[in-house]
Structure 1
Amino acid sequence: MSSNQKLGLQTNVGVGADALAARFALIREAEDLGYTSLWIAEVSGPDAFVSLAALALNTRKAELATGVIPIQIRTPGAMAMGFLTINELSGGRAIAGLGVSSPVIVERWHGASYRKPVTAMRECVTIMRQLFTEGRSKFQGEVYKSDFKLSMRITAPHPPKIYLAGLNAPMLRLAGEVADGVLMNYSPPDAIAPMVQHIHEGAKAAGRDPSAVDVGIYIRMCITEDEDKAVDSFRRELASYAFVDSYNKMFARYGFGAEFEEVRRLWKQGKRDEAPRAITEASCRKIAVFGKAAAGRDFVARFRAAGVTHPVVFPIGPSATAARDYPNTMSALAGA
């Protein structure tokens, strides 16, 4: 990895005192190994802002990113305050990774509205940019409105960056148009070039330099001797996305449509243990790596060759062996 190349690490932080101490030791090691960004996902806990605040106080140089938070469950103003706080605590290292999530999470879990997700994202970014750069937002849109002035004292050298989670063409184009970067997910290297093309189209349409948009992707891998167990664990993870429309549309592009249809059929029949087995090992290995360090490093190189500028290593595997597999994967991919 050259000195100007970016390499991220996904690191969801446990909340118990013992878990935190162990994870912070690993995170400090990750910085020493050359990881340039640390990413925290938020689904059903822990809270991403609290976790990033802890990281801000326990790291020195890596960028600190949400990967990602759903925009609908907090107001744009509340998110702006959160990211500005992280940015202050870290001396300007915050990345606001934003996504539109899914109707299940937004509406069923949180009772919020999922309407017009692409419009909502555009408006949310507009409001957050105003607050990041001017400390003041006056905005009236189709989904959001804001008349809000911050009273924070800002000392960080620059505002937080904004990255959008993008799976399909409309959001990828929007990222090119309005964001500093994009975070893609669950995609094989041979699918990246057309996705990058959508990002570049959005940038050009907005009169921006396409190369100014950082192209990130979560790259799932487990460097382990127990490949079969890691593949099985990943099957179960993938199966959980069979009921998310945006992911189904993307997976169908990769030739997984029939497998995911079978997952849904078995699930609806109550065969929930059997359903993940409809996803083949070949499909799992198309979008994740299991086994040797060399395979993981080659996978990252293929993404870089396809146009990814910010690969993010996402260690996966069975929870029973995570204490072994996570540090092994992190160490094996350092500098990739």
Structure 2
Amino acid sequence: MKLGLQLGYWSAQPPQGVGDLVAAAEDAGFDAIFTAEAWGSDAFTPLAWWGRETSKVRLGTSIVQMSGRTPASIAMHALTLDHLSGGRVVLGMGVSGPQVVEGWYGVPFSKPLARTREVVSIIRQVLAREAPVTNDGPHHPLPYNGPGAVGLGKPLKPIVHPLRADLPIWLGAEGPKNVAQTAEIADGWIPIFYTPKSAGMYQPWLDEGFARPGARRTRADFEIAATCHLQVVENAEQKQRVIEAMKPFVSLYMGGMGAKEQNFHTQLFTRMGYGDLAARVQQRFLAGDRAGAAALVPDELVDDMHIIGTPAEVKERAATWEASGVTTLMLSLRSPEEIRRAADLLA
């Protein structure tokens, strides 16, 4: 199991000291660094900025929101950064949710599975550079001849010869159909809230995708990159403080990251067996009682979702994540010292 540093997306201001974290991750032997985006900072720019001082770690997006750019634009970002980094890019993408897609990007959210398939197909055509890129699908037709078109669209190949036609594409996916499609068409999967206890739920979905005709990968060469917070503590009291500090983040996704009518994270927690809890957390969160929502989150759920414990416990817990099928563990760590300690423990 490889280690990745999850840098995430920015909050109100750019974070400080990230360059030191990235340098420590490379020096400590981490396999990759990852950046994310929501509706503020983008994923590509920080990756290029902080990645310029690296020479070994892979540079991954976890994740790029597909609706924020056309497929060809995403491919341009990826092939450009892949050249600049000497072939170290991992392109992680996801569909986001209707509140962001329709409220922030101003485009329809409908049929996310079909849209994902078209996006991946177009990007692979760009990277292969075997012929002018075309797409007959309804979501991203190329060339475009719909309303407002002047009729002069021309299929094109990228001017730049991509460094790698097989640049890895990983997809963020939560539901059964999305996970199965990810196993069919992608090189890796970026689950959210994957835990060793929930790993069994996903296996039939993955197997369905691997079994489809023309599936790109098998389980043997398919990446599963799960994110968790890792923190070493000295005793049970310290562990409890960390767990309490993590509860607001769990309740945010369980109840606040999406509309009441359609929240993929709430649905995922329901599939994990926390349906009643998710409903109550969502009710309090949407009513403005964020503290009350966080207080409902049980200790054992936070403990299952993250790796928090003494050095011996951290090593034991990390082994259970690896045994569950995780190939890359993306860790949120706050200092170079934490990075070095994690690397030493999990080497």
Normalising TM by the smaller chain, what interval?
0.7 to 0.9
Greater alpha carbon shift after TM alignment, 288-297 vs 44-53: 288-297
Query: Aligned pair 1:141/2:148, yes or no?
Result: no
Report the structure, 1 or 2, having the larger helix content.
Answer: 1
Alignment of 1:102-113 (within 5 A): 102-113=97-108
Superposed counterparts of 1:255-334, under 5 Å: 255-315=273-333, 325-334=334-343
Look up the match of 1:320.
none
- Quote the residue 1:210 is aligned against: 219
1:67 to 62, 66, 86: 62
Question: Residue type of the partner of 2:247?
Answer: R
TM-aligned CA deviation for residue 214 of structure 1:
1.2
Give the match for residue 5 of structure 2. 9
What letter corresponds to residue 145 of structure 1 in structure 2? Answer: P
Q: Secondary structure at the match of 1:111?
A: coil
Show the 5 A alignment for 1:154-169.
Answer: 154=161, 156-157=163-164, 159-169=166-176
CA positional deviation for 1:253? 2.2
Amino acid at match of 1:223: V
Residue deviations 1:83-133 (CA, integer Å, cap 9, x gap): 111101101111110111111221222222211111111111011111111
The one-letter code sitting in structure 1 at the alignment partner of 2:7 is T
Q: Identity of counterpart residues, as a percentage?
A: 25
Q: CA deviation at 1:178?
A: 0.7
Give 1:149-228 correspondences, 5 Å limit: 149-154=156-161, 156-157=163-164, 159-208=166-215, 209-224=218-233, 226-228=238-240
Give the match for residue 152 of structure 2. none
Tell me the distance in 2 between the aligned counterparts of 1:12 and 1:248: 21
Equivalent residue number for residue 84 of structure 2: 89
- SS of the residue corresponding to residue 30 of structure 2 reads coil
Q: 1:270 to 1:52 in 2, by over 3 A?
A: closer
The 5 Å alignment of 1:25-64 reads 25-64=20-59
Q: 1:13 to 1:160 in 2, by over 3 A?
A: same
CA distance in 1, matches of 2:42, 2:167: 19
Change (3 A) 1:16 1:104: closer
User: TM-score of the superposition, structure 1-length normalised?
Assistant: 0.87
Aligned residue for 1:220, secondary structure, equals strand
The letter of the residue matching 1:45 is G
Is 1:239 the counterpart of 2:251? The answer is yes
Aligned to 2:269: 251
Name which one, 1 or 2, has greater alpha-carbon Rg.
Answer: 2
Task: Tell me: CA distance 1:151–1:188, structure 2 relative to 1, closer, same or farther (3 Å).
Answer: closer
Checking the alignment, whether the CA contact within 8 Å between 1:167 and 1:246 is kept in structure 2 is yes
* 1:230 partnered with 2:242: yes
Normalization by structure 2: what TM-score?
Answer: 0.84
For 1:276 and 1:156, how far apart are their aligned partners in 2? Answer: 46
Provide closer, same or farther for how the CA distance between residues 140 and 25 of structure 1 changes in structure 2, counting only shifts above 3 A: same
Structure 2 unaligned runs (5+)? Answer: 144-154
How many residues of Structure 1 are paired with residues of Structure 2 in the alignment? 322
